[in-house]
Structure 1
């Protein structure tokens, strides 16, 4: 095999791309650095020019995933404006869309056991993504009387947890957990129940 990486000028990204493919195929703990190097077309020793170990490689994949995720969440939020309700619901749907389109990044971010505080860069971009959903929650919660208003961080965490649950159980082909309803419908109805409970949308007739 011809060894690339030394000449194409982007060895680090080639390794991340290789890791993402392996993460999708084998999970975050199912591959070695040597396999990532082979996939990228370089020697195992070349990996250590950029990463101290497999966790560092996965952390970089997660960081790049959060960059995509934060941008997608921001786009969804902006597209839903000026309606605070539409913006909030759009961010929930964006979570599901991201998990489907970027499974390797999603696994690196949420299923690898890598802490978002592993590096300052990873922590910062993860917070940027959370901030979008918290801002959407804060906008929408202004319609709730102050004495009944949940903190935006709690509000957004509930919807994040709901979105994550739908993804994990029904949108990633988990064995034995197929739903008779599309994941999008499950998420929309779940968010609807939550928002009705807060009095933010009218109850069904």
Structure 2
């Protein structure tokens, strides 16, 4: 698993979008140390700004960590959408591509992936977090709807989408936690995703 580069020296910040710079710095720290493994003062030092600078844009540590999670959800949604739109092959190609994209995101950003789901407790009290999560699932439902017979009830679309999510979410966590030793090639993983897609959409 590729780790974020370790930075030990202060990297002076000169200009630009400080809020975005801080979020990216914290994202790298999350990948390196986990969501609970660093302080705001360390993030400021890594970003090359004063320890007070983050508080010009964020009320506290939780708020900047939440911003990292929100950014991760949006990146995953965009990547899933792009993958589905670009998919070619049989009628399940887009759904297979979604599964591959989801697992690839988890491997590429395991710290952020864990963070995204670690913040879901109480998400009903966070409209923005809920909306972004719903937008990701909307991509899945769109592709499920496209392969189901016309007139399929929305409840059934939701059910099939949820089953797909259960599988790929479990697979993604088993991957990043190294809980299996299948050593799947990309081709083997894609074949597995295709198999599941066909089975669940029957």
TM-score bracket for the superposition, by shorter chain length: 0.7 to 0.9
Q: CA deviation at 1:131?
A: 0.4
Of the three residues 156, 159, 169, the one matched with 1:151 is: 156
Instruction: Identify the residue that residue 196 of structure 1 maps to in structure 2.
Output: 199
Runs of 4+ in 1 over 6 A off after TM superposition: none
Moved more, 116-125 or 152-161: 116-125
1:64 paired to 2:71: yes
1:165 paired to 2:167: no
CA distance 1:167–1:192, change in 2 (3 Å): same
CA distance 1:118–1:81, change in 2 (3 Å): farther
Root-mean-square deviation (Å)? 3.0
Instruction: Identify the residue that residue 36 of structure 1 maps to in structure 2.
Output: 43
Partner Cα distance (1:111, 1:47) in 2: 23
Instruction: Identify the residue that residue 53 of structure 1 maps to in structure 2.
Output: 60
Instruction: Identify the residue that residue 202 of structure 1 maps to in structure 2.
Output: none
Partner Cα distance (1:15, 1:55) in 2: 13
Partner Cα distance (2:109, 2:62) in 1: 19
TM-score (norm 1): 0.78
Instruction: Identify the residue that residue 79 of structure 1 maps to in structure 2.
Output: 86
Instruction: Identify the residue that residue 181 of structure 2 maps to in structure 1.
Output: 179
3-state SS, counterpart of residue 140 of structure 2: helix
TM-score (norm 2): 0.79
Matched residue count? 193
